Amino acid sequence: MKVALAQTNPIIGDFEYNLNKIDSAINQAKERSCDLIVFSELMLPGYPPRDLLEKNRFIESNLICLDRLLASTTGIGVICGYVEKNLNPGGNPLYNSAALFENGRMLHVARKRLLPAYDIFDERRYFEPARDCSSIKYKGYRIGLTICEDVWNDKDVFQRQIYPIDPVDLMVKDGANLIINISASPFYVGKRDFRLKMLSRISQKYGVCLLYANQVGGNDSILFDGNSCAFNTKGELIAQARDFEEDLVVVDLEKKTGDVHEVSDSEMASLEKSLVIGTRDYVTKCGFSKAIIGLSGGIDSALTACIAVSALGAENVTTLFMPSEYTSQDNFEDTKCLADNLGVQFLNIPIHDIFMAFIKFISPEFNPREPGVTEQNLQARIRGTLLMAMSNRDGALLLSTGNKSELAMGYCTLYGDMNGGLAVISDVPKTMVYDLARFINTQKETIPLSIIEKPPSAELKPDQTDQDDLPPYELLDPVLKAYIEDFKGADDLVGMGFDPKLVGSIISRVDQNEYKRHQAPPGLKVTSKAFGYGRRYPLAQRYAPFSEKG
Amino acid sequence: MKVALAQTNPIIGDFEYNLNKIDSAINQAKERSCDLIVFSELMLPGYPPRDLLEKNRFIESNLICLDRLLASTTGIGVICGYVEKNLNPGGNPLYNSAALFENGRMLHVARKRLLPAYDIFDERRYFEPARDCSSIKYKGYRIGLTICEDVWNDKDVFQRQIYPIDPVDLMVKDGANLIINISASPFYVGKRDFRLKMLSRISQKYGVCLLYANQVGGNDSILFDGNSCAFNTKGELIAQARDFEEDLVVVDLEKKTGDVHEVSDSEMASLEKSLVIGTRDYVTKCGFSKAIIGLSGGIDSALTACIAVSALGAENVTTLFMPSEYTSQDNFEDTKCLADNLGVQFLNIPIHDIFMAFIKFISPEFNPREPGVTEQNLQARIRGTLLMAMSNRDGALLLSTGNKSELAMGYCTLYGDMNGGLAVISDVPKTMVYDLARFINTQKETIPLSIIEKPPSAELKPDQTDQDDLPPYELLDPVLKAYIEDFKGADDLVGMGFDPKLVGSIISRVDQNEYKRHQAPPGLKVTSKAFGYGRRYPLAQRYAPFSEKG
């Protein structure tokens, strides 16, 4: 049996668009004489549809499209993810399902058994978990048809099984000799390696072939890396689709061979690709083609501009430099040079006059040598307002440029530099921002070296550098990672050797600034725990990680 | 047996504060010779703790506090909600539990069986559902101890049972003759009546007494109304605690009598109380005492100011009037009169000079008779920036003043009038804003009549009224309610008699403006479906409710 793994980039709710993608992949697979083509999880509506699933008509449309697809496809078997109604009188009203059909006949429907309800996942909100773990006979194979999380509960891979059953195990016991998994598995740096090892281990342990078809592309914060793949019964990789691109790979199950396409060979390469596709998809799926970015002369906005140009093309990116009296001449030159390297439009609007028009009312006694938080924020808000005015005027989406370290510490101004439709690097820690900038420069020196080498500064008061207000990033970032991504507490961090005072001050700043992040634009998720949808903290709370007497 | 129902207002994560509340209620109950005191769901950590539940130390602190409480309480039985660890090797790591203890001995732990995962609820994210529905003998009764959702799956009340079991039914079959429910049940207008009827029906159907202890107060968007109560075996109300206040009521189970305290006698009265407590709790639990509000001369900001004064006191509220050349003199006078009636500080900052300082760069060819969207938004953003500057300068939390109808339609400016730490009336539709304003005026004429009677206007261009850009609110609000709160689709709405064109234009504006609401401050939830945490839509999506050919 020859199987095509179709790795597509759907638009949520655009059923016609998604059907066209499906049709064209089916044609490709038929040209290559495939017996079966496998699409990703919820390919018909796109993943994740979230509360669109609560709209009756949305479900109906998805079912009508499935019917059309079923009626119009001949000469090849199809596995495709869709939303099924739960016709039982009780339980959640929907299933997250995979249909297997051929020549107008529905052969099998597999329903997702394990419904994730952690991080960005809310599947218990919509779907009823299925219990059935039987396999299905198809063209000489017994297929165990699974959906994403269904393969993520292996007792040899995970210390704790959060679900009571392991569908793969049960299906193999039911005779399955081919496990197919359709996924919409979100990306983070390092995830691909983990996922490949897990899938390989499963296929090796059970001595079964395993086919894995994953969604690709960005939907709001969530990025899907693709990396669809296949394993033989020894757990060896026999097919591999590209990362962060639509692709189709064919596997010959008898010959145990398949297409092996090139993928990123380093974490930085996949990080860059993920941010580029995430930016492109957000901007274009929202109906924009142009973007606008405020350039400060610092590395964050420089990196954001590079990504935007890769995503949208230089002709679609406008940059705006907005100096104040605290802005150094160097920053103007560096920014100009960057804009020239990128070939983007470059505007220069000094903010002094606007600033003084505000100051008259707010701080009549203002001393320009000593701007307080009010005056510092005011500068950022004037810039944010200018950027939004340009965005309104030109119909260009504003991209914000803050990194994860500053967002964590609240070292950013709400309604100022946090303004934007998309926060491109808000999940990239500052030290990783440097790494990625250097990586991008290895391809072509786009970012002027002086931007990479100067000490970071918000330039909101005289001679300011980030290190006046923040611990050095080399110290800060590991603490933030341990606290946010690895769920370490204050005591754990001290136990790991970090200075207790440093830990206390970092943690309390992270916690105190939850309210700013609550109003932040969506940010592209590239770590295992990003701020935003997958991290849900109360704002009005007084949990003090160090202080309980207990 | 005499039972006290303790209706308390915890602060999330402030274990000492919550313990003090518990201690003082226990003392009250002992003074009144109670045998048992019942606290609300998760009273120890406060509800909802959200991802604080993913912090190990948070769980430990809550357990240590439970131990302290258990060790220190004598002479009375206590039922109290807390977070329990799931010591089984698999499943979610926590239970949402209720402890029953007395004189240093733990008598029983009941674990929540039904875990809501809809609207604002994410309990499947953290907790493992329990299966045990046995009852427990205590002082001559068999208690069925349930937690919130456990009583919300009755087949005579709900058309569809989303959970496979009904714990009340199973407990009564196990011999329970007293159902106790500890809750953190969020408020919306009309919920109390529904809840009382449901509880009454349950106690009557099974012929059991039912005791209900609910949390009170606001936590971010979510308001808890209290309204703790008790029913005799005939389903008659025998005890009733106040709404939107801490309270303690005593029930004598043998005499079938209890304290009946006064509650709001109208929807408007409960709405006003809910907004006042929500504002007070958000501001003070976040550590602020003062608030700042931009007054426009319109009804939304007038109502918000009234609520803020009731919540925080006139001395803690500053108001700011920021006229442009489009602002009428009437609005100045109305606003001044309102501020005088309320006794709040009133500042007047004209924005013309600041506006012109921006215009020079953005629209050099600007025609003041024809401000476009860019210039209109700019005015709102200048005001938002001024308000934030005052907020920064004076340490006062900015309250935003937009209503639900305009937030639904995106008739508001991101980083402008949407600025604020809390959106006080963002879940109150415009027509309800009028009702509430009139209701408040029946107590004392605070809001000048001319504010209530003038046609609503954003005053961002000459002679503008809301009805230039929006359907009349009497038409708009019913469509919005049907679409947002009642999950009606476009076809349903047309079937209900609404004009198809009107429906199409409203629905698409609601959908298109999801991105604005994504960055909105938390808003107090007072309807069954508020924007924000409980309504989760993708931003980059293209679902067109009318256009699928299907």
pLDDT tens column, A337-375: 999 999 999 999 999 999 999 999 998 888 888 999 999
Q: Do A161 and B89 count as a contact with CB atoms less than 8 A apart?
A: yes
- B96 contacts in A (CB within 8 Å)? none
At residue A364, the pLDDT reads: 86
Which candidate from B125, B349, B358 shows the least CB-CB separation from A389?
A: B358
Tokens standing for B489? 């689709």
- Closest CA–CA distance from residue A298 to any residue of chain B (Å): 23
Whole-number Å distance between alpha carbons of A135 and A177 = 9
Q: For chains A and B, what is the number of CB pairs under 8 angstroms?
A: 262
B516 is catalytic: no
Can you say how many angstroms the Cα of residue B141 is from the centroid of all Cα atoms in its chain? 35
CA closest to A283 among chain B residues: B540
* Amino acid in the structure at residue B52: L
Task: Give pLDDT tens digits for A140-154.
Answer: 999 999 999 999 999
Whole-number Å distance between alpha carbons of A429 and A435 = 10
Q: For the residues A65-91, what does the mean pLDDT come to?
A: 97
Instruction: Tell me which H or E stretch contains A229.
Output: strand A229-231
Whole-number Å distance between alpha carbons of B416 and B380 = 5
Task: Give pLDDT tens digits for B23-50.
Answer: 999 999 999 999 999 999 999 999 999 9
Q: Do B362 and A386 count as a contact with CB atoms less than 8 A apart?
A: yes
SS3 B237: strand
Mean pLDDT of chain B: 96
* Amino acid in the structure at residue B469: D
φ, ψ of residue B237 in degrees (nearest 5) = -70, 125
Confidence of residue B544 (pLDDT cuts 50, 70, 90): confident
At residue A549, the pLDDT reads: 36
- Closest CA–CA distance from residue A185 to any residue of chain B (Å): 17
CA closest to A166 among chain B residues: B90
At residue A406, the pLDDT reads: 97
Tokens standing for B316? 């803690």
At residue B98, the pLDDT reads: 98
Q: Do A385 and B373 count as a contact with CB atoms less than 8 A apart?
A: no
**Cis amide bond preceding A48, omega within 30:** yes
At residue A547, the pLDDT reads: 52
Mean pLDDT of chain A: 96
Q: Which of B148, B209, B306, B412 is catalytic?
A: B148
Terminal alpha carbon distance of chain A: 63
B112 is catalytic: yes
Tokens standing for B329? 């003199």
Which candidate from B378, B489, B543 shows the least CB-CB separation from A56?
A: B489
**Cis amide bond preceding A456, omega within 30:** no
* Amino acid in the structure at residue B491: D
Residues of A forming the active site? 41, 112, 148
Whole-number Å distance between alpha carbons of B477 and B134 = 47
Q: For the residues A394-414, what does the mean pLDDT come to?
A: 98
Whole-number Å distance between alpha carbons of B217 and B279 = 10
Q: Which residues pair with A423 in a beta bridge?
A: A400, A523
Q: Do A519 and B520 count as a contact with CB atoms less than 8 A apart?
A: yes
Whole-number Å distance between alpha carbons of B186 and B216 = 9
Which candidate from B349, B358, B374 shows the least CB-CB separation from A361?
A: B349
Tell which residue, A366, A338, A362, has the closest CA to residue A461: A366
Which candidate from A285, A386, A515 shows the least CB-CB separation from B540?
A: A285
Which candidate from A285, A489, A536 shows the least CB-CB separation from B55?
A: A489
Confidence of residue B542 (pLDDT cuts 50, 70, 90): very high
Cα dist from B57 to A189, A547, B165, B462, whole Å:
28, 11, 33, 58
Q: Do A90 and B124 count as a contact with CB atoms less than 8 A apart?
A: no
- B20 contacts in A (CB within 8 Å)? none
Please state, as a whole number, how many other Cβ atoms lie within 10 Å of the Cβ of residue B137.
11
Cα-based angle A192, A195, A201 (whole degrees, multiple of 5): 140
In chain A, the percentage of residues whose pLDDT exceeds 90 is: 95
Please state, as a whole number, how many other Cβ atoms lie within 10 Å of the Cβ of residue B267.
17
CA closest to A222 among chain B residues: B538
Cα-based angle B38, B40, B41 (whole degrees, multiple of 5): 130
Whole-number Å distance between alpha carbons of A259 and A240 = 6
Strand order in the sheet with A105-111: A105-111, A94-102, A77-85, A36-38, A2-7, A247-252, A257-258
Confidence of residue A548 (pLDDT cuts 50, 70, 90): very low
- B377 contacts in A (CB within 8 Å)? 388-389, 392
Confidence of residue B550 (pLDDT cuts 50, 70, 90): very low
Tell which residue, B475, B329, B372, has the closest CA to residue B467: B475
The half-sphere exposure of B331 on its side-chain side, counting CA atoms within 13 A, is 25
* Higher-scoring residue by pLDDT: A459, A24: A24
- A393 contacts in B (CB within 8 Å)? 362-363, 374
Q: For the residues A490-504, what does the mean pLDDT come to?
A: 94
Q: Do B57 and A13 count as a contact with CB atoms less than 8 A apart?
A: no
Tokens standing for B337? 């009169």
CA closest to A162 among chain B residues: B91
Cα dist from A16 to A6, A61, B499, B548, whole Å:
17, 10, 27, 8
- Closest CA–CA distance from residue B53 to any residue of chain A (Å): 9
Quick one: DSSP state of residue B344? Answer: -
The half-sphere exposure of A396 on its side-chain side, counting CA atoms within 13 A, is 25
Q: Do A122 and B117 count as a contact with CB atoms less than 8 A apart?
A: yes
At residue B547, the pLDDT reads: 52
- A389 contacts in B (CB within 8 Å)? 358, 362, 374, 377-378, 381
Contacts of B410 (CB under 8 A, 6+ apart): B509, B510, B512, B513, B516
Can you say how many angstroms the Cα of residue A355 is from the centroid of all Cα atoms in its chain? 37
Spatial contact of B289 and B42, defined as CB atoms under 8 Å apart: no
Which candidate from A11, A393, A544 shows the least CB-CB separation from B374?
A: A393
At residue B548, the pLDDT reads: 39
Could you tell me if residue A207 is left (phi over 0), alpha (psi between -120 and 50 degrees) or otherwise beta? Answer: left
Could you tell me if residue A38 is left (phi over 0), alpha (psi between -120 and 50 degrees) or otherwise beta? Answer: beta
φ, ψ of residue B339 in degrees (nearest 5) = -60, -40
* Amino acid in the structure at residue A98: A
Tell which residue, A210, A217, A152, has the closest CA to residue A186: A217
SS3 A141: strand
Terminal alpha carbon distance of chain B: 63
At residue B366, the pLDDT reads: 86
Please state, as a whole number, how many other Cβ atoms lie within 10 Å of the Cβ of residue A20.
11
Task: Give pLDDT tens digits for A203-237.
Answer: 999 999 999 999 999 999 999 999 999 999 999 99
Whole-number Å distance between alpha carbons of A64 and B16 = 57
